[in-house]
């Protein structure tokens, strides 16, 4: 089965006229999943149109060498694994991001290059969680050039934990599942990352 990204007009129509997957009742979400498993075009368009933009932004900022390749491989894996998936909308979303996370790791291993961070800070703000914490609000308020430079200086795991929190709006438990770590380890990564970001930014401003 071929999974293709819907045309821009279709994306706009779907996103403006339908509720987000996360807000659907369990029965309605499962109906979308069942239709997608059966290969229904409208169901795949619904899923891809909603998750593809934040997925691409996340993959880009993790430093993917080829965003289209990583995202394409992610959707192919999702299409193949969908018959076995069981869970709610939040679980599905975190599973898709987990697949993307591993695709980028595979790319890093192949290229052995240091991951880079994207530069579209406006998109970062748009994808922030609806009810951000004080830390994520602070990150979103940082000037673009400062934020990008500071993120480049974070260890890869800390950067990933921050991006999943700020861009994906995932909970600690969901980030732990995506990264293959315990919730406690994710909390430590985020706390260290926020402390390091603060020190980096304060150091730059006192120079």
Q: Phi and psi dihedrals of 4, rounded to 5?
A: -120, 150
Question: Which has the higher per-residue pLDDT, 119 or 22?
Answer: 22
Provide the b/e sequence for 95-120 (b: ≥16 CB within 10 Å).
Answer: bbbbbbbbbbbebbeeeeeebebbee
Neighbouring C-alpha atoms within 13 Å toward the C-beta of 38:
9
Q: What is the pLDDT of residue 38?
A: 93
Q: What is the pLDDT of residues 69-118, one digit of tens each?
A: 999 999 999 999 999 998 899 889 999 999 999 998 888 888 765 444 44
Q: Which CATH code is given to the segment(s) 121-205?
A: 1.10.10.10
Provide the b/e sequence for 16-42 (b: ≥16 CB within 10 Å).
Answer: eeeeebeebeeeebeebbebbeeeeee
The ranges assigned to domains in the chain are 8-111, 121-205
Instruction: Tell me how far the alpha carbon of residue 105 is from its chain's centroid.
Output: 14
Overall pTM surpassing 0.85 (yes/no): no
Specify whether domain 8-111 bears CATH 1.10.1200.10: no
Cα–Cα distance for residue pair 193/199, rounded to 1 Å:
10
């Amino acid at each position: 089965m071929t999974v293709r990204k819907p045309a821009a007009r279709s994306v706009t129509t779907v996103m403006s006229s339908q509720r987000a997957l996360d807000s659907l009742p369990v029965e309605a979400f499962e109906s979308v999943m069942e239709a997608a498993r059966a290969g229904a075009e409208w169901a795949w368009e619904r899923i891809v149109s909603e998750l593809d933009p934040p997925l691409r932004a996340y993959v880009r900022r993790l430093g993917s060498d080829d965003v289209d390749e990583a995202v394409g491989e992610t959707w192919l894996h999702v299409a193949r694994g969908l018959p076995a998936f069981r869970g709610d909308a939040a679980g599905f979303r975190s599973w898709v991001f987990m697949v993307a996370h591993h695709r980028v790791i595979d790319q890093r291993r192949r290229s052995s290059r240091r991951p880079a961070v994207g530069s579209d800070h406006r998109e970062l703000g748009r994808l922030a969680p609806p009810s951000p914490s004080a830390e994520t609000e602070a990150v979103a308020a940082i000037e673009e050039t400062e934020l990008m430079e500071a993120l480049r200086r974070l260890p890869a795991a800390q950067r990933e934990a921050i991006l999943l929190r700020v861009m994906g709006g995932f909970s600690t438990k969901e980030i732990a599942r995506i990264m293959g770590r315990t919730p406690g380890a994710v909390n430590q990564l985020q706390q260290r990352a926020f402390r390091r970001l603060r020190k980096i930014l304060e150091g730059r401003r006192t120079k």
